[in-house]
């Protein structure tokens, strides 16, 4: 379609709010704004919302992709003055109040940038080319295919060293994603692989490495929770390398800063993320982690009527002098606060500055193993109670009754028989 044409959205006397991105922040704002007297346009390159905290379970064959996504159009059925366009925003002109997409251009009165974050390879082109990220359902499914493909190939690979490259897995990054992936892989190694691949000596040959550049896992958690996570993973057979930094990966060998090497064809990169701002916004607005600097009202620095939410936004407030963590709760609360301010605007009420309510942090390490930190009152929880709480919180956060039921049934089944049932290699047809 000609990008110089206007996207087909009806003109209206209502002010138009365009939201770029249907992640946690953008979706929260869209849902609340759909009840107000604005024309709302939601733009996303997918036609569905993705529940990012469970990507790793798709990658580990524990959940099907459709269980953790929800179509936008179903969510906003019957909403008047609400429009969805499936495309990408290529640039923004803040002065003309216009954004550009492959479908054409779209004018706006107010723009909400909720484009989230992408994998940060810290400028290492080799790692970017060869490592496996996991920031979307598609990438999680690709990772699942890659892991299962390599185990199939290992059956017909006679040499020990070439086989090691196929069966050993390295995870880089000791945050919640890395810890949860390592725990899930360790359970797969113990309970699934010996039954699926009896021809391989799983116990002796398959190694799972978790590499963390810092001296502890789960940075930002309490020391008690970090220590518990380390013990859980070590007891499960994961080789945790602390104070170790990956400097290169050529597709076959991982190179560490201290000179050590690990032979593998699979490196899962969970070592960092960076914001994905839209092209055309002022350079002065881009700050730490490639994020957009915003004030307490989510307004992007040196712009007018442009706001940012979630992982792409960087906001400082008392108690969070280095910005908020890039987690779902920050995005959800930000989206709710900005939507409330737009509602207040219609009613001539004062804007409310954002104040993050930290509800705690949690990470699961495996069956009946998890850690939870509560900020108020400050205490930590581990083991089966923490794991059940993790299950409950994530189950209720998933969109859609059908998805909740399917995820719950999968979890119950996996708990009973230790057996991820979705070990399917599904690849898109390439013409």
Q: What pLDDT, in 10s, does the model give residues 305-353?
A: 999 999 999 999 999 999 999 999 999 999 999 999 999 999 999 999 9
- Do residues 36 and 159 share a domain? no
SS3 at position 158:
coil
pLDDT tens string 365-388: 988 899 999 988 888 999 999 999
Q: What is the CATH number of the domain that holds 266?
A: 3.50.50.100
pLDDT tens string 344-366: 999 999 999 999 999 999 999 98
- Do residues 62 and 147 share a domain? no
Please tell me the total count of domains within the chain.
2
- Is 299 within a domain? yes
Q: Are 220 and 325 in contact (CB under 8 A)?
A: yes
| Domain termination site, one of 286, 321, 346 | 346
Q: Tell me the pLDDT band of 131, cut-offs 50, 70 and 90.
A: very high
pLDDT tens string 110-128: 999 999 999 999 999 999 9
Q: What are phi and psi of 308, to 5 degrees?
A: -140, 145
- Do residues 174 and 241 share a domain? yes
pLDDT tens string 188-225: 898 888 888 899 888 889 999 999 999 999 998 999 99
Q: What is the pLDDT of residue 323?
A: 94
Q: Tell me the pLDDT band of 173, cut-offs 50, 70 and 90.
A: very high
- Do residues 130 and 252 share a domain? yes
| Domain termination site, one of 247, 271, 295 | 271
Question: Structural domain of residue 168, as residue ranges?
Answer: 125-271
- Is 2 within a domain? no
- Do residues 38 and 113 share a domain? yes
pTM of the model: 0.92
- Do residues 256 and 313 share a domain? no
199's CB contacts (< 8 A; 6+ apart) are 155
| CA end-to-end distance (rounded Å), the chain | 23
The dihedral formed by the CA atoms of 35, 396, 65 and 423, expressed in degrees to the nearest 10: 180
């Amino acid at each position: 379609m000609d990008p110089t044409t206007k996207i087909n959205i009806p003109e209206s006397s209502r002010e138009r709010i365009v939201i770029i991105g249907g992640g946690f922040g953008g979706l929260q704002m869209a849902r609340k704004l759909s009840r107000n007297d604005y024309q709302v346009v939601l733009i996303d390159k997918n036609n569905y919302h993705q529940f990012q905290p469970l990507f790793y379970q798709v990658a580990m064959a524990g959940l099907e992709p459709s269980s953790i996504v929800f179509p936008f159009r179903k969510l906003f059925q019957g909403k008047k003055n609400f429009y969805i366009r499936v495309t990408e925003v290529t640039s923004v002109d803040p002065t003309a109040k216009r954004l550009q997409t492959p479908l054409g251009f779209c004018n706006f009165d107010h723009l909400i940038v909720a484009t989230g974050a992408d994998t940060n390879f810290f400028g290492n082109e080799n790692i970017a080319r060869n490592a496996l990220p996991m920031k979307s359902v598609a990438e999680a499914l690709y990772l699942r295919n890659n892991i299962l493909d390599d185990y199939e190939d290992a059956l017909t690979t006679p040499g020990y060293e070439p086989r090691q490259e196929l069966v050993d897995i390295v995870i880089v990054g000791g945050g919640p994603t890395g810890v949860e992936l390592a725990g899930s892989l360790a359970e797969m190694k113990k309970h699934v692989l010996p039954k699926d691949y009896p021809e391989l000596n799983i116990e002796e040959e398959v190694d799972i490495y978790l590499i963390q550049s810092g001296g502890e896992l789960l940075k930002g958690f309490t020391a008690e929770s970090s220590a518990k996570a380390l013990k859980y993973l070590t007891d499960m057979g994961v080789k945790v390398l602390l104070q170790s930094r990956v400097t290169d990966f050529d597709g076959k060998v991982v190179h560490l800063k201290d000179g050590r090497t690990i032979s593998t064809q699979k490196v899962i990169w969970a070592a960092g993320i960076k914001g994905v701002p839209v092209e055309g916004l002022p350079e002065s607005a881009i700050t730490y982690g490639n994020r957009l600097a915003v004030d307490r009202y989510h307004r992007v620095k040196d712009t007018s009527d442009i706001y940012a939410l979630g992982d792409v936004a960087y906001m400082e407030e008392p108690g969070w002098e280095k910005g908020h963590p890039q987690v779902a709760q920050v995005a959800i609360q930000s989206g709710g606060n900005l939507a409330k301010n737009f509602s207040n605007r219609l009613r001539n009420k004062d804007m409310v500055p954002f104040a993050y309510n930290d509800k705690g942090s949690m990470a699961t390490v495996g069956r009946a193993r998890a850690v939870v930190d509560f900020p108020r009152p400050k205490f930590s929880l581990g083991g089966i109670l923490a794991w059940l709480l993790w299950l409950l919180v994530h189950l209720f956060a998933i969109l859609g009754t059908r998805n909740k039921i399917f995820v719950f049934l999968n979890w119950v089944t996996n708990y009973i028989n230790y057996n991820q049932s979705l070990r399917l290699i599904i690849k898109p047809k390439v013409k």
